[in-house]
Amino acid sequence: MAHLRLAAALTLALSIFGSHADAGVVLDYSDTTFFDGSSTVRVKAKAALEAAVADINAVIDFNLGAITNDVVTGTSGSTTATIDFRYGYRNPTTNATVEVPNTTMPANEFRIFVGMRPLSGSTLGQGGPGSVGAGFGASGFFNPGEAQAAVTAAAAASEHRRGDGPVMATLSGTVFGSPNDSAYSIEFGPTIGNLWFDDDVDNLGGSDGDAALDSFWHFDHTTAVDAGKNDFYSVALHETLHALGVGGSETWDSLVTNGTDWTGAEAIAEIGSGIGLIDAGGAHITDGTMSFRLSDGMAQEVVMDPSIFTGTRKSLTTLDAAFLRDLNYTTQITAVPEPSSLLAMTLAGAGTGLLRRRKPSHRKTRC
Ligand SMILES: [Zn+2]
């Protein structure tokens, strides 16, 4: 059954787009200078981040429609309603709210604004989807029946649901006021997100220098993680999946019941039960949940539980992929990400993967 569905999805994608070979998550460095740096630390950090995104892009078969116009209109009789869409995100370096003035997006693209900034406590990184908004206007003769019909027609012209992936948010309400009150409800799919990593590793406030960062983070994704260090690649994987809606989207929320139970069929089929599968915070798989790496089938803690041991690396597991399918993404789990470096790492680490959990490793939490 899985193969049939995969084949159908591929056929559809090819017929519409011709090729989707380089689609997927795109990293946007507009708000950071860190990753432009030429120091060894920064070059390795950027390479690890991009490797994590490449591995996600190899697993998710994105089918996201293009957003071609920031403003849509609908007409009924002599009334024309307009909806002007707005996206926002957190500047990953300053945390300031940024409004994207005119959001269009190519088919299959999801854009993430990345950076480094001071985080307190044991948080290694944070990631999430951007915000959405819309402004409404109308022109014409304007009477109650026409206004509603025009708004409904404009909302129907929205390209922002995009197709696959979770509903990130739904905007709903009424506009224009009595007696022209017109209701609307518009769903938004995955379009933009933000993620950042901690650069205040001594927790004394402010951004630390490369030497301090290098003693805290293990930046090089092509070598095994040094004891006591936090793996940058693993955190990049985790935060990118948050940006795509894991733990922070309307669809995710709709699948969590009783606070910690998961009702998505794919994850339940993968692990047997959704009872207690969600962490108490509501945004992660329960801490310590084990699954199997897509890369080599070895047992490993899932990427999307809330924490990671120092000295260890995670790669995507079958349960992480099942959660993505529950969020309405299509996964290409037969096309395992096999960058030579990651494969070498996982093979080298295979014998000690379980033993590491018994070591008195220091744990770090993260969003
Ligand atoms: Zn998290």
Convert the pLDDT of each residue in 147-163 to its tens digit: 999 999 999 999 999 99
Which chain residues have CB less than 5 Å from ligand 1, an ion? Answer: 367
Q: How far is the CA of 339 from the centre of ligand 1 (A)?
A: 24
pLDDT at 9: 34
pLDDT at 333: 75
pLDDT band at 341; cut points 50, 70, 90: very low
Q: How far is the CA of 59 from the centre of ligand 1 (A)?
A: 19
Q: How far is the CA of 288 from the centre of ligand 1 (A)?
A: 13
Q: How far is the CA of 186 from the centre of ligand 1 (A)?
A: 27
Given a cut of 50, whether residue 345 has pLDDT beyond it is no
What are the tens digits of pLDDT across the range 242-283?
Answer: 999 999 999 999 999 999 999 999 999 999 999 999 999 999
Q: How far is the CA of 367 from the centre of ligand 1 (A)?
A: 4
Identify the CA nearest to 135 among candidates 163, 104, 176, 97: 176
pLDDT band at 103; cut points 50, 70, 90: confident
DSSP 8-state secondary structure symbol assigned to residue 325: H
Q: How far is the CA of 302 from the centre of ligand 1 (A)?
A: 11
Q: How far is the CA of 163 from the centre of ligand 1 (A)?
A: 25
Q: Which residues, other chains included, contact 229 with Cβ-Cβ below 8 Å and sequence gap of 6+?
A: 215, 216, 217, 218, 310, 311
Q: How far is the CA of 64 from the centre of ligand 1 (A)?
A: 24
Given a cut of 70, whether residue 361 has pLDDT beyond it is no
Mean per-residue pLDDT, 89-96 = 96
Identify the CA nearest to 120 among candidates 24, 241, 207, 9: 207
pLDDT band at 363; cut points 50, 70, 90: low
Q: How far is the CA of 284 from the centre of ligand 1 (A)?
A: 6
8 Å CB contact between 120 and 203: yes
Phi first, then psi, for residue 47 (nearest 5°) are -65, -40
pLDDT band at 134; cut points 50, 70, 90: very high
Query: Is 31 strand, coil or helix?
Result: coil
Q: How far is the CA of 165 from the centre of ligand 1 (A)?
A: 19
Identify the CA nearest to 288 among candidates 308, 268, 273: 308
8 Å CB contact between 70 and 132: no
pLDDT at 218: 97
Whole-number average pLDDT of the chain = 87
Write out the H or E segment, with its range, that includes residue 54.
helix 40-59
Mean per-residue pLDDT, 296-308 = 95
DSSP 8-state secondary structure symbol assigned to residue 155: H
Given a cut of 70, whether residue 347 has pLDDT beyond it is no
Number of helical (H) and strand (E) elements in the chain, helices listed first: 9, 18
Q: How far is the CA of 252 from the centre of ligand 1 (A)?
A: 14
pLDDT band at 367; cut points 50, 70, 90: low
Mean per-residue pLDDT, 143-147 = 86
Q: How far is the CA of 304 from the centre of ligand 1 (A)?
A: 6
pLDDT at 306: 95
Q: How far is the CA of 249 from the centre of ligand 1 (A)?
A: 13
8 Å CB contact between 106 and 65: no
Q: How far is the CA of 366 from the centre of ligand 1 (A)?
A: 5
Helix, strand and coil content of the chain, in percent to the nearest 5, comes to 30, 30, 40
CB atoms < 10 A from the CB of 37, how many? 14
The rounded distance, in Å, linking the Cα atoms of 72 and 158 is 7
Residue ranges with strand state E in the chain = 24-28, 71-76, 79-90, 97-100, 109-117, 125-129, 131-140, 169-175, 182-188, 192-198, 217-218, 230-231, 256-257, 261-262, 290-292, 299-301, 307-309, 363-365
The rounded distance, in Å, linking the Cα atoms of 159 and 163 is 9
pLDDT band at 142; cut points 50, 70, 90: confident
CA atoms within 13 A on the CB side of 236: 29
pLDDT band at 101; cut points 50, 70, 90: confident
Given a cut of 50, whether residue 17 has pLDDT beyond it is no
What are the tens digits of pLDDT across the range 202-243?
Answer: 999 999 999 999 999 999 999 999 999 999 999 999 999 999
Q: How far is the CA of 175 from the centre of ligand 1 (A)?
A: 36
Q: How far is the CA of 24 from the centre of ligand 1 (A)?
A: 21
8 Å CB contact between 40 and 131: no
pLDDT at 19: 41
pLDDT band at 6; cut points 50, 70, 90: very low
Integer CA distances (angstroms), 208 to 174, 221, 300, 324, 363, in order: 48, 21, 32, 35, 21
